[in-house]
């Protein structure tokens, strides 16, 4: 006898979430690109021995970009289900979702440059 009825639902919730992540990794090139850049940013944080605040900012930015990519994929799938034919509003929905990802990616690049450029400049100065 289980003490909590919700034990199974938590396990299933995580199972479904990991299934969704596996789907994204297998099928979504954009997700893999964003994920690769996230890993690269984390490696730079380690290499440059970045401050805690820089870690927090980069992690928040990574979360923003990855989350927007996940939501955009969900929007695209839902639009495809409910509107398998061309419709101008379906196109707008997909375009707006893609714009959210683009906007978050541009902001992340700017933030990444602001954080990493001083480290990179210092690194190049040490070679010359």
Q: Where are the domains of the chain?
A: 9-127
Grouped pLDDT means (10 residues each) for the chain, 128 residues: 60 92 96 97 97 98 98 97 94 97 98 97 90
* Predicted local confidence at residue 10, as pLDDT: 85
**Separation of alpha carbons 47 and 25, rounded Å:** 26
Q: How would you write 65-112 as a 3-class SS string?
A: HHHHHHHHHHHHHHHHHHCCCCCHHHHHHHHHHHHHHHHHHHHHHHHH
Question: Are 115 and 54 a contacting pair, CB within 8 Å?
Answer: yes
Q: DSSP state, 12?
A: H
Question: Rounded CA gap, 76 and 96, in Å?
Answer: 10
The predicted structure's pLDDT at residue 5: 56
CA 64, distance to chain mean position in Å, is: 6
Q: Does domain 9-127 have CATH number 2.40.50.140?
A: no
Which pTM does this prediction carry?
0.86
Q: What confidence score (pLDDT) does residue 9 get?
A: 83
Residue 87 pLDDT: 95
């Amino acid at each position: 006898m289980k003490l909590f009825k919700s034990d199974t639902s938590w396990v299933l919730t995580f199972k479904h979430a990991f299934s969704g992540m596996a789907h994204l990794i297998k099928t979504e090139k954009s997700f893999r690109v964003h994920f690769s850049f996230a890993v690269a940013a984390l490696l730079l944080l380690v290499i440059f021995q970045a401050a805690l605040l820089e870690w927090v900012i980069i992690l928040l930015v990574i979360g923003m970009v990855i989350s927007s990519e996940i939501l955009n994929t969900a929007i695209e799938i839902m639009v495809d289900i409910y509107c398998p034919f061309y419709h101008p509003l379906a196109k707008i929905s997909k375009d707006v979702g893609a714009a959210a990802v683009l906007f978050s990616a541009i902001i992340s690049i700017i933030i990444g440059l602001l954080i990493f450029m001083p480290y990179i400049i210092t690194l190049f100065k040490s070679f010359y």
